[in-house]
Structure formats: structure tokens, C-alpha cells
Amino acid sequence: MGLQKHSNLASYAIGNILKYRTRSTAMIVALIFSTFLLGSAEFLREGVMMDIAASVDEGPDIVVQRLVGGRQVEVHSSWRENLSSITGVRIATPRAWGYFDIGTGNLLTIMGINATDYGNIVGATGTEILPGGRFLEQTDRYRIVVGQGIIDLMSTARVSISAGSILSIIAQNGSLIEFEVVGIFDTDAKIYSYDMIVTDLKSAQEVLGLEDEAYTDFAIWTDYGANLNDVAFRIDTQMPETRVLTRDAMDDIMMKTYGGRAGIIALIWVVVLMTVVLLTFTVSSAGSDEARREVGLLKALGFDTVDVLEIRMIESLILSLLGASFGMSFAIIFDFYLGAPILSGYMLGWSILLLNAGLPLAISGPTIFILYAVAIVPILVGTVVPAWRNAITEPDIVLRGV
């Protein structure tokens, strides 16, 4: 009997949704828009956060830069001995990196490394080479390993790049330098290393216009089991000109860079959601006379206040589920199939220019739960409160038109 009662109340609620099509449609459309906005931003934000985590995992434990007058300047090779002597430092290797153009107008990243040092680090960016190629050797000059983004970029110009191909790079002084591709590296990250070219230090210095003993920074890998913050503190104390960025600091910087923009989208969504809730409350209260008469008739027929509230809750739940489901479906199509136009450009900035293989996107259970929760709970509040006000009215008063 109890189950049959709830089934009848649900049937009545569905009948009300179909009866008041204009009201139902307005609520569903508003929910679709709000869920679509938040879902699109969250799927992209979560993918970016996962990509950042992968980038940090593939990078050094500590990056050491030199500051003069608060600005980053070149680091001299003499720093290597000082850094290597600090307790807890396993590898201190110089890097020369910056941006360059291959004639397409897009800025790519080149990073010069010490091949011997990097060859001893498992999982570092550029060291996981796809079959058919190899990593850099210490004696290599004008040889490179490239990320998948370079392959994708050249393919748009109908140029196939593989091991053995020649790639010309425009140096800082305007000269053209030819490099041989010896390998293509595999990586879980897109934003950081997708468009990266890894070469030897001398070749990178020539491209970037750096002197022979000048580097951009030093990458530090600590001893196994060493406390990262303790090592960073020793470096900062013993070498006062340095700016020391730990793995956690780099993660935090990247999270703020990309996550902050997602926060602006979330703020806009809050405004939209509040508008939806107000619309729901207004729509639920607008026909108060008709709604009160309906409630009065139901109560005269034996329905109690709880039954009336259950009907309204079922209506709201159905509308919320429909709106949220359609909104998330449109968000998935927008992000995964259309590439999140405009939104991706805002959140990723210039990083989006080379991501031809697809945006870093992700969908998780907690995100789906949150999207449904923020769609259902406010709408329940916006509809149940007016329904409760009508339900507590005595039926004889309502039916007499008082």
C-alpha cells in the first residue's frame, strides 16, 4: 500500500509537469544552461589539474634560478659545484631553455640539457622515447627529441616528422639552424611538454643567444628519502642570490595560473544559479491562487501536507535531473567533441595554440556528483518552500476563495 501510494504521487507529479509545460520548460532550460556552464569549466579544469600533476611529476624536485634586483638573470656554470655539494642534492644539472619560432608564427619551447645527467633520471621530461628513436647522447650536437605537439603542428603543414627528419629552427640572431630528429618522447602531460624540443646545451644556447657558460636555471633532484623542504632551505641559505622553487611551489604556481581562471567561471555560474533559483521560486509562487486551490482540493480529498510536499519534491527532482543531465551532456559535447571554443582559450591562454591532439579533459565521479547536487538542492529549496506555504493552509479556507 505504501509503495502504491508513492507511485500514485509520482504519477500525479509527472502529470503536473506535463500540464504546466511552459513552467517546466523554463526551469529545465535554465538548469541546462547553468549546468552546462559549470560542467564545461569543471571538465576542463579537472583535466588541466591532472595535466599539471603529470608535468610536475616529470620535472625536477627543485628548480634554482638567479635573481638580481628581483629579476631572473642567467646562471653561471660555477653554480653547479656549489649546488652539488649541498647535503641532500643527488643531481644538479644546468638547463638552457626558452622560446623560438620555426616560421609558423607559433612559439615553441626548446630546452637544452646535459644528456648524461638526464639519462640517469627515470621518467624525466623527454627521456621516455617512443619505439624507433633514441634519447640524446653526450656527444650529440644539433640533434633533438621532440614532443608529440611538434609532430601534430608539422602535420598541419603536410610535413611528416619522424626519427631522421631534419627540422630547421630560427635562432635568436636570425640565422637558420638545421637539427636532426633522433627521437619522439612520450609524456602524460600536454600543456608543459607537448610543444617541447629537447636538445644539448650548446645547441640550445646557440638558438637562444646565450653565452657558452650561461644557463637559464639549474634542475635539482634530491637524494631518495631526503626532505625536499630541508634541501630547498639549505640552498636558499647558502646561496642568497637564488630563487628556489620546490615541486610543491611549482605545482601551486601552475594551479593558481589555470585554476584561478576556472574560479572566475565558477563565480559567473553562481550568479547564473542564483538567477535560476529566483526564477524557480518566482514561477512556483506566481500562480499561487491556482496552486493553493489545487492544494486545497488535494487536502479535501484526503492528502496531507507531507503528500503535497512529496508531489512538489518529485516534480523538482525530475526537472532537476533532466536539466542537469542535458546540461552535462551538452558540456561533454562542447568540451570533448567541439574543443571548448572560447572557454579553452580563456582558461589556457597561449597554451591552447598547439594542443591539436585534444584538450586535457577529465570527468570524475565527484565532479558528476557535485554537478547533480548543485542542480537539485537549490531547486528543491526554491519549489518546496512555496509548496509548504500552500500546504499548511486549511482546505476549507482555500476552497471558499478566502
Q: In angstroms, rounded to a whole number, what is the distance separating the alpha carbons of residues 236 and 67?
A: 12
What's the pLDDT score for residue 233? 92
Higher pLDDT, 126 or 118: 118
Q: In angstroms, rounded to a whole number, what is the distance separating the alpha carbons of residues 160 and 146?
A: 13
Higher pLDDT, 293 or 4: 4
Q: How far apart are the first and last CA of the chain?
A: 35
Query: Which residue from 20, 59, 58 is spatially nearest to 218, judged by alpha carbons?
Result: 59
**pLDDT, averaged across the chain:** 79
Higher pLDDT, 18 or 227: 227
What's the pLDDT score for residue 402? 45
What's the pLDDT score for residue 180? 92
Query: Which element (helix H / strand E) includes 381?
Result: helix 365-391
pLDDT in tens, 27-80: 888 888 888 888 888 888 888 888 777 777 778 889 999 988 888 888 888 888
Higher pLDDT, 355 or 381: 381
Q: Is residue 330 scored above 90 in pLDDT?
A: yes
DSSP percent split of the chain into helix, strand, coil, nearest 5 = 55, 15, 25
Q: What percent of the chain has pLDDT over 70?
A: 76
Q: How confident is the model at residue 295 (pLDDT cuts 50, 70, 90)?
A: low
> Are the C-beta atoms of residues 17 and 24 closer than 8 Å to each other?
yes
Strands 166-170 and 217-222: unpaired
- Range from 2-11, 110-119, 198-207 carrying the lowest mean pLDDT: 2-11
